[in-house]
Amino acid sequence: MTDLSTRGSIIAQDFYSKAFISGKTSKTVKKSLGLLKKMGEPWTFGIDMSDDPKAAVESFLKECGLKMTEYIQFGEKLDIEPFYCIVEAEKL
């Protein structure tokens, strides 16, 4: 995605945690993974959000040539490991 974007472009993305993708935090996801794969949407990538989710996402984006400008996280109010986030990033 960064290769297709010009410097200064703003990119919005969503990321799921590795625990969520593996079905550890959601039985519904575990059951749905096969269906998603059949539909052409295999969920195979997740970020380790078990320690410091924001830092993990920020580090991943930096490796991709992006700087995080907004971060919204879901899951912490449920007293579980964060499982999902939406970010806005700028191409450096």
Write a three-state SS string for the chain: CHHHCCCCCEEEEEEEEHHHHCCCCCHHHHHHHHHHHHCCCCCCCCECCCCCHHHHHHHHHHHCCEEEEEEEEECHHHCCCCCEEEEEEEEC
Enter the tokens of residue 8: 């200064």
| pLDDT on residue 22 | 78
pLDDT of 68 strictly over 70: yes
pLDDT of 3 strictly over 90: no
| pLDDT on residue 14 | 93
- In this prediction, residues 11-26 reach a mean pLDDT of 83
pLDDT of 6 strictly over 90: yes
